[in-house]
């Protein structure tokens, strides 16, 4: 468990990185050799990103190449739904979701980086949409009332949130009973090298904040979700020239020979349609409910 101070510092690192990224287009990021999150020869998130260009509702200016899946393609979003996108960035998934929910639906993006929110709002104003909004806020305390969302999506964000228990408890709170989420994220299997885990660039680049896949799925179950399914899973291979920035030759060979892996997963889960009665409120045996 991270201390409050460490968690706050990590959030500041993430905000700083993503405010720099928001100031550039995807092409500028690539051309400046800054591959989205990091400096030259460090992690380029294009390694993880999927191709959005063929999706209905795609907005090129919102696509900064920061995702690691296509949650809207798996989220079973319906016309008229209210969809919340956690860590919406410049609005890449939110605009795709908007084209599915149509004029009668609503999309709300949440992001803690002001520059990302400004960029997403600029995109919205330019397109003249009035049923999509972007709110500045932290996923650990989502600025929305209980039970507002039919569907929650998120793309390559929750690994960056220090308190993942809070992230999923908040996701549960804002969903309507019977609602669901589909989240793409990075998880780990096996132990990564300490030099990778300690790197701020690797944290902001969505690697070292990631947790073990089994722990991730347990957190979702403990938050109260059911019908948890992995809809897609893909191994992420980080090129040697990037890994060698963090690992010496021996450590690099050990890493490559080891069993550890970095995966992009898309996970789905349902919030139960009715609140489950608390154990103490359930009659447990004949006679125990008398009086």
Closest among 170, 165, 162 to 141, alpha carbons compared: 170
Q: How far is the CB of 235 from ligand SAM (least distance, A)?
A: 19
Closest approach, Cβ 139 to ligand SAM, in A, equals 4
Interacting residues with ligand SAM between 254 and 273 (CB under 6 A): none
Phi first, then psi: give them for residue 147, nearest 5 degrees.
Answer: 60, 40
Site for ligand SAM, residues 177 to 216, rule: CB under 6 A: 206
* Contact assessment for residue 80 and residue 66, using Cβ atoms and an 8 Å cutoff: no
Size of the site for ligand SAM (CB under 6 A): 24
73 in contact with ligand SAM (CB under 6 A):
no
Regarding 116 and contact with ligand SAM (CB under 6 A), the answer is yes
Cβ contacts of 38-41, under 8 Å, gap ≥ 24: 38/201, 38/204, 38/205, 39/201, 41/241, 41/242, 41/245
**Residues 6+ away with beta carbon under 8 Å from 204:** 13, 14, 17, 18, 37, 38, 160
- Applying the rule CB under 6 A, the residues between 6 and 25 that interact with ligand SAM are 14, 18
Residue 47, interface with ligand SAM (CB under 6 A)? no
Choice from 35, 87, 105, 179 touching ligand SAM (CB under 6 A): 87
Can residue 29 be called a binding residue for ligand SAM (CB under 6 A)? no
Task: Name the minimum Å distance from CB 165 to ligand SAM.
Answer: 13
**List 72, 82, 113, 264, residue binding ligand SAM (CB under 6 A):** 113
Q: Is 53 helix (H, G, I), strand (E, B) or coil?
A: coil
For the chain, how big is the Rg over CA atoms in Å? 20
Return d(Cα 71, Cα 69) in angstroms, integer.
6
Site for ligand SAM in 133-162 (CB under 6 A): 138-140, 155-157, 160-161
Question: Is 112 one of the binding residues for ligand SAM (CB under 6 A)?
Answer: yes
What is the distance between the alpha carbons of residues 78 and 182, in angstroms, rounded to a whole number?
Answer: 13
Which two three-digit tokens encode residue 151?
């569907």
Choose between 73 and 161: whose C-beta lies nearer to ligand SAM: 161
Positions in the binding site for ligand SAM (CB under 6 A) = 14, 18, 64, 66-67, 87-89, 92-93, 110-113, 116, 138-140, 155-157, 160-161, 206
């Amino acid at each position: 468990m991270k201390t409050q101070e460490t968690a706050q510092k990590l959030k500041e690192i993430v905000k700083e990185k993503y405010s720099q990224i928001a100031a550039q287009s995807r092409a500028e990021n690539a051309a400046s050799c800054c591959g989205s999150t990091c400096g030259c020869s460090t992690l380029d998130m294009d390694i993880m990103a999927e191709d959005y260009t063929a999706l209905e509702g795609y907005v090129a200016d919102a696509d900064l190449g920061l995702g690691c899946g296509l949650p809207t393609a798996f989220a079973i979003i319906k016309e008229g739904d209210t969809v919340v996108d956690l860590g919406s960035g410049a609005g890449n998934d939110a605009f795709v979701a908007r084209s599915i929910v149509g004029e009668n639906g609503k999309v709300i993006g949440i992001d803690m980086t002001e520059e990302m929110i400004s960029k997403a709002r600029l995109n919205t104003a330019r397109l003249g949409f009035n049923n999509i909004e972007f709110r500045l806020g932290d996923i650990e305390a989502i600025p929305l009332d209980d039970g507002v969302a039919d569907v929650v999506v998120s793309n390559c964000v929750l690994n960056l949130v220090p308190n993942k228990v809070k992230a999923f408890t908040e996701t549960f709170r804002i969903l309507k009973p019977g609602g669901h989420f589909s989240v793409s994220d990075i998880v780990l299997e096996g132990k990564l090298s300490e030099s990778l885990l300690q790197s701020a660039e690797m944290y902001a680049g969505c690697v070292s904040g990631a947790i073990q896949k089994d722990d991730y799925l347990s957190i979702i179950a403990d938050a109260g979700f059911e019908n948890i399914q992995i809809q897609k899973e893909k191994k992420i291979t980080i090129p040697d020239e990037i890994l060698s920035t963090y690992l010496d030759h021996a450590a690099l060979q050990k890493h490559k020979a080891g069993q550890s892996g970095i995966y992009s997963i898309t996970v789905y889960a349902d919030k139960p349609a009715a609140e489950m009665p608390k154990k103490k409120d359930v009659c447990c045996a004949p006679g125990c409910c008398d009086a």
